[in-house]
Amino acid sequence: MFTLSVDWLTLPDVADRLGVPITRVRQMVRDRKLLAVRSDGVLRVPVEFVQDGEIVKGLPGLLTVLADAGFTDEESMEWLFREDPTLPGTPARALAENRGREVKRRAQALAF
């Protein structure tokens, strides 16, 4: 089981917040526009990934960069929520605060 100190949304909750059908949310997860992990048999998305009725700006591109660096979904989730005193905070928090350029730069550096 995957555990982090994060508030989670189920896919139906994400669909409600985005104003889209749940089938669209499932497609976003398949297309790596949105990251979800399975916990207790249920796919869950961190609350931080959905803001003001939209997916947090920069998340889909960042997920692509992390996948290209060889990160699994679980490793990507751990990286996004690991405290980084140089940011400060977590990469997920930096994305939510519109500091995605620095987060993406750091993720690109992981590939080398």
- pTM greater than the 0.85 cutoff: yes
* Per-residue confidence (pLDDT) for residue 80, from 0 to 100: 96
Distance CA 72, CA 112 (A): 17
Q: Residue 39: its pLDDT value, please?
A: 85
Mean pLDDT (10-residue bins), the chain, 112 residues: 75 98 97 92 95 95 94 94 90 93 90 66
Q: Which residues of 86-108 are buried (b: 16+ CB within 10 A; e: fewer)?
A: eeeebbbbbbbeeebeebbebbe
Count of H-run helices and E-run strands, the chain: 6, 5
pLDDT of residue 1: 38
